[in-house]
Amino acid sequence: MLPYLDAFVPAFGLLALGAWLKRSLLPDDRVWAGIERLIFWVLLPALLCSAIGSVRLGEVPVVGMMTAIWGALALGTAASLLLARGFRQPHPSMTSVLMGGIRFNNLVGFAVAGAVFGLPGLALGAVATGLIVPFVQLVTTVAFAAGGSGRFRPLAVLRQVALNPLILGCAAGFLVAALGGLPPGIKPTLETLGRASVALGLLAVGAALTLDALSDRLGLQLATTALKLILMPGLTLLLCLALGVPALGTAMAVLFMALPTAATSYVMARAMGGDAPLMAAITTTEHLLAVVSLPLWLWAVRAAAGAG
């Protein structure tokens, strides 16, 4: 019980602290916008690069994790589109359901993985992130582009995906791992930046959550939340077991696929013509219910795969 408390109390405690800071001590949106840019462009890529760069790729079940994660994401994408269509939502709302169904808050994942599984879990969590981010960014970017008023330009979409700092951080990490790791001096620098991303990131996520939007299309919110917090990790666990992915790889794949959607989904929806109010509601609902679902998934992985 104590490892679970050590993992989840700090993670969700920082979310609550961020919400309180936004409403009392730091109400200026510009402060949080600056923090979010710092995390997105500098701190989180540093975490991904340093964590993946420390992995011995020959000892990591990358192919099995990739097959399970990408298979679940493909099914989750189809389910999100069908869900939005079943609720007769227009294209902007569909993009919010899609982001609620397949995007993930990797900062919560890193906090939990590090607390429960230590450095090996953190490294494999970064590998899981490196597999999830390109798929999710490509799908969501295409979804927004397909609903735009202009002509769909595949090269522009691919360029936007390729220049995403999280994808660049993952690519740099895999390259560093293939070359044998980071050099002295650079490694502790990136690791320090990476540790800062988790605490600051959770505070920023908490600041972005709002209870005011929870009444907006509650049925659609709950259906999207069930898809993200129950169906997606369930599919991932079944695929990992069928593919024989080792216990820790299975745990990290399921954990990161069980995470609530990224708080930046709201910013993305607002900037790219999505349904921002619905996105804010889905984001808040998923984070509230993840307090219950994440410990249950870790218990399920431990029972099924013997991890932890």
Average pLDDT over every residue of 83-92: 94
Which CATH number belongs to the domain containing residue 169 in this structure? 1.20.1530.20
Distance CA 229, CA 261 (A): 9
Total domains in the chain come to 1
Q: What pLDDT, on a 0 to 100 scale, did the predictor assign at position 308? A: 56
The pLDDT-based confidence of 274 (bands split at 50, 70, 90) is confident
Q: What pTM was computed for the model?
A: 0.86
For the stretch 15-68, pLDDT in tens is: 889 989 999 999 998 998 888 889 888 988 898 898 888 888 788 899 999 999
For the stretch 120-177, pLDDT in tens is: 888 899 899 989 988 998 898 888 887 665 566 778 778 877 888 888 988 999 899 8
Q: Which one has a higher pLDDT value, 204 or 215? A: 204
The pLDDT-based confidence of 270 (bands split at 50, 70, 90) is confident
What range defines the domain where residue 247 resides? 2-305
For the stretch 208-265, pLDDT in tens is: 777 776 777 889 999 999 999 999 999 999 999 999 999 999 999 999 999 999 877 8
